Amino acid sequence: KQEVTQIPAALSVPEGENLVLNCSFTDSAIYNLQWFRQDPGKGLTSLLLIQSSQREQTSGRLNASLDKSSGRSTLYIAASQPGDSATYLCAGYGGSQGNLIFGKGTKLSVKP
């Protein structure tokens, strides 16, 4: 059964810092991995999706990598801004029909 773990649970950084959020999964037969952002009380916004055949994806200041052999994914945020403050969730497609299995998220706070 696929399990997804995110470390750290919370992170506070000063504005401008580069940072890395970590995600690990137990089943290397993961299909795709998706990173989301969630603002308080809101739904999820998809940031990046990495297919199982890919190693990384980039969008603006965000870069996500996937290492299936080690069961890890990282989300790199460059030059962090206060507007990046949110909870970041990673999710693997673990079910036979494509349902997502989520980690508990990393709550990021970027201080001005």
List of residues contacting another protein (CB under 8 A)? 4, 32, 34, 36, 41-46, 49, 51, 89, 91, 93, 95-105
Residue 94 beta carbon to another protein: minimum distance, rounded to whole angstroms: 9
**Residue closer to another protein, measured from CB, 64 or 89:** 89
Q: How far apart are CA 73 and CA 34, in angstroms?
A: 10
- Residue pair 4/101 in contact (Cβ under 8 Å)? The answer is yes
Residue 14 beta carbon to another protein: minimum distance, rounded to whole angstroms: 25
**Residue closer to another protein, measured from CB, 53 or 112:** 53
Q: How far apart are CA 78 and CA 86, in angstroms?
A: 15
> Which residues, other chains included, contact 65 with Cβ-Cβ below 8 Å and sequence gap of 6+?
50, 55, 56, 73, 74, 76
Residue 65 beta carbon to another protein: minimum distance, rounded to whole angstroms: 17
**Residue closer to another protein, measured from CB, 19 or 49:** 49
